[in-house]
Amino acid sequence: MSTLEIKNLQVAVSTDEGMKQILRGVDLTIKSGETHAIMGPNGSGKSTLAYSIAGHPKYTVTGGSVLLDGVDVLEMRVDERAKAGLFLAMQYPVEVPGVSVSNFLRTAATAIRGEAPKVRTWVGEVKEAMASLNMDPAFAERNVNEGFSGGEKKRHEILQMELLKPKIAILDETDSGLDVDALRIVSEGVNRVKESHDIGIMLITHYTRILRYIKPDFVHVFAAGRIVEEGGAELADKLEEKGYAEYVTA
């Protein structure tokens, strides 16, 4: 049983015109087995929240705290956060030329698990996970995200989640750029990992579409750097109908 506690989180980013405040006091608690949808208009700070928790150097925490099972996440290096059990499926996964997917996955698994996975079981594990995400095995020999289509990048993110088995996963617009079939396959992957490992999920999305496949326990509306409304799955239906207009003007 794990708990991610975000308390009054305030984050700024440095721009040419100086520091720009983006997160203005975010409070959110996610427990194992729970799925929290974070929904909000573009530019409201959703990715900033995701990146700040993962420790991207571009973002400066100006106040508040993030605790994973009571331990201060903000004090940890980026790799330590991953080892502690946090995972971020990125909105824009990064290309890493010259580093093959298989080498990358194995290096990451070795780091997270604290020992190199046994070659024989590892190969099977990767193959199986790739097959369940409908990924061509040839992907293993390609360079990380290089020349991947949008959908392939997102599958590759979920593949990593499946292999690294985090405690809490943050999925930043994993649904964007996916066609219906890919959305279904990726969502099934997320549900599979969630069920088998009882992970907690922060599902960041702009659209309600993915919520047909991944059922949220809680929905949080995000606007101008903070959560402005919270509810159950029914809140998503309201957003579907009315959009974000009332929050943006508020």
Partner 1 sequence: MSLNSNLLESHTPTSREELWRFTPLAKLRGLHDLDVSLSSRVSLGAGVEHSGLSISIVDAADAPSNSETNDLVSMRVRELSTKVLKVEVDKNCEIAVPIFLTRTVESLDPEVSRTVIHLGANSRATIVVENTGSITLAEEIIITLDAGSTLNFVSLQEWENDAVHLGHHHAIIGKDASFISTVITLGGSLVRLLPTVEYAGPGSSAELSGIYFATSGQHMEHRIHVDHNLPHAKSRVNYKGALSGDKARTVWFGDVFIHANAEGTDTYEVNRNLLLSDGARADSVPNLEIETGEIVGAGHASTTGRFDDEQLFYLESRGIPANIARQLVIRGFFLEIVAKLGLPEIEERIMLRIEDELEKASA
Question: Which residues form the interface with ligand ADP (CB under 6 A)?
Answer: 13, 15, 20, 22, 40, 42-48, 58
Span between the terminal Cα atoms of the chain, in Å = 37
Contact string 145-184 vs partner 1 (x = CB under 8 A): ---------------x---x--------------------
23 binds, among ligand ADP, Mg ion, partner 1, none (CB under 5 to 8 A by kind): none
Nearer of residues 78 and 131 to partner 1, judged by Cβ = 78
> Residue 13 or residue 61: which is nearer to ligand ADP going by CB?
13
Closest CA to 244 of 78, 44, 30: 44
DSSP 129-195: HHHHTT--GGGGGSEETTT--HHHHHHHHHHHHHHH--SEEEEESTTTT--HHHHHHHHHHHHHHHH
Residue 168, both tokens = 């809490």
- Encoded one letter per residue, x for contact with Mg ion by CB under 5 A and - for no contact, window 127-146 reads --------------------
Q: What is the DSSP letter of 8?
A: E
- Judged by CB under 8 A, the residue of 8, 14, 107, 149 near partner 1 is 107
Amino acid (one-letter) located at 193? V
β-strand pairing of 226-231 with 218-223: antiparallel
Query: Contacting Mg ion (CB under 5 A), which of 2, 47, 145, 208?
Result: 47
Residues in 60-119 at the binding interface with Mg ion, rule: CB under 5 A: 91
Give every strand in the sheet of 86-89, ordered side by side.
86-89, 168-172, 200-205, 35-39, 218-223, 226-231
Nearer to partner 1 by Cβ, of 31 and 83: the residue is 83
Q: Which is nearer to ligand ADP, 36 or 106 (CB)?
A: 36
Name the residue with the smallest CB distance to Mg ion. 47
In the list Mg ion, ligand ADP, partner 1, none, the entry touching 112 (Cβ below 5 to 8 angstroms by class) is partner 1
